[in-house]
Chain A
Amino acid sequence: MPIATTELKTKIIESLNLQDIAPEQIEDDAPLFGAGLGLDSIDALELVVMLEKNYGIVIKDIEEGRPAFKSVRTLADFIDARRSN
């Protein structure tokens, strides 16, 4: 079953301690890094930990995760693809 983006948003908020943001404020296709939520390279590493903790996905090179971290939608697709492998 594909992952629900709402669930993923909750996990992102939790792992990055995004105190002032509600899941519905994050759009599926909005960029997560840079202008979007103002996330940076350290947040990307927290997402790496979040992926392993919740979905058992291990990323050893941050370049591998980079395309997946573009938006909530790309991250959801990445998780689905890894889980179906």
Chain B
Amino acid sequence: MDREELIGKLSTAVNEGSVEESSSLAEKGVEAGFDPLEVLAGVTGALKEVGHRFGRGDMFLTELMFCAEAAKGATAVLTEEIKRQKRDVPYLGRVLIGTVAGDIHDIGKSLVAALLTAEGFEVIDIGIDVPDEAFVEKVGELKPDVLGMSALVSSTMVKFKDVVRALEEAGLRDEVKVIVGGAMIDQEWAEQAGADAFGSDAVDAVAKVRSLLNIR
């Protein structure tokens, strides 16, 4: 199997959400001595294709999750190899993500986290029902490039505004880009809350994070 063929197969495995298959292909690529950065680029390309398919309604959420898992598995193997070769792992950015206080909805936020990880972002998921001050504290401590917040119900949507204000008060607002999302959220609400971006779904959220950080 040459490099092109391996990347092709890996891309198919990611698109089909074959979790074990994609890790084992990544391992084969490493064993064969292919440049892990190039193979990693293949994984990123496949994920982009997955995103397009989801965007045009050609894929279901469950499948998207498996695709993200498949990509994550391969990315972990390849990143490990890049580190072993003492080369720089491409740094995309660090994202802190969580669901706001009073809201226990996990799925959307976790999916965004999974997709970001699969793309190669460093993701710190601080869970659900996160108090305002915990967001602020973690932003100060971990210095993420992006803070992602999720809220599913109308009663918790107001929390975005509170967290943004708390960040301002702590003098951290300019240190971090803020992106929000959730079933009831729209662009207008995101702007009112003082966020920098709004993700209409998980794939859109990843695209918005990329554009916030000027990543092509």
Q: Do A and B come from one complex?
A: no
- Residues of A participating in the B interface, judged by any CB pair closer than 8 Å: none
- Residues of B participating in the A interface, judged by any CB pair closer than 8 Å: none
